[in-house]
Chains A and B, each alone.
Chain A
Amino acid sequence: GAGVSQSPSNKVTEKGKDVELRCDPISGHTALYWYRQSLGQGLEFLIYFQGNSAPDKSGLPSDRFSAERTGGSVSTLTIQRTQQEDSAVYLCASSTGTVRDGYTFGSGTRLTVV
């Protein structure tokens, strides 16, 4: 597609429920990233996929968080047993895989856990 698409744009869930956030990167981009942005905070790295390599999961805050990328394209971030502190905007970005090209970001998913 023309840009990075994220869905849903907003999600309200009850504490303890599982949620799935979707990211559809730019066609041909080999790298895909998930970041989290809490209110008034910067960007917190979560996970990074590059081609067929094993993902860099070093930023996932707990084992309740997981992500997969199917067919080198669409990615799903799953949060199990959501907690109130998971409330944030989850941003997805894709890139050519060359660091110097920078990222193209989606508009994000605003997750609210009540």
Chain B
Amino acid sequence: NAGVMQNPRHLVRRRGQEARLRCSPMKGHSHVYWYRQLPEEGLKFMVYLQKENIIDESGMPKERFSAEFPKEGPSILRIQQVVRGDSAAYFCASSRNRTPNTEAFFGQGTRLTVV
């Protein structure tokens, strides 16, 4: 049973370009969570999705960021018109159920660098 798969592992974008980060949850998991880790900081919750639905996006910046989790395929975190401040590690976690918390597994992350 493969773990949470994120790709790409590293992504370099120029300012103004779009970044698309993919997350394939573990088999049987229908809940996906995206977190962002800025340099030297802890992880910060961005968005929680369940198949085809955004459950909570309270941590998402209001502009340029969007997320989806279609019926088929991976969850996508999309960042439009990237700026240098978007440079961070983006982690996805998945779980089978909403709770308990211990059953969430994290992917290895995508490191976005904006140049």
A and B from one complex: no
User: Which residues of chain B have a CB within 8 Å of any CB of chain A?
Assistant: none
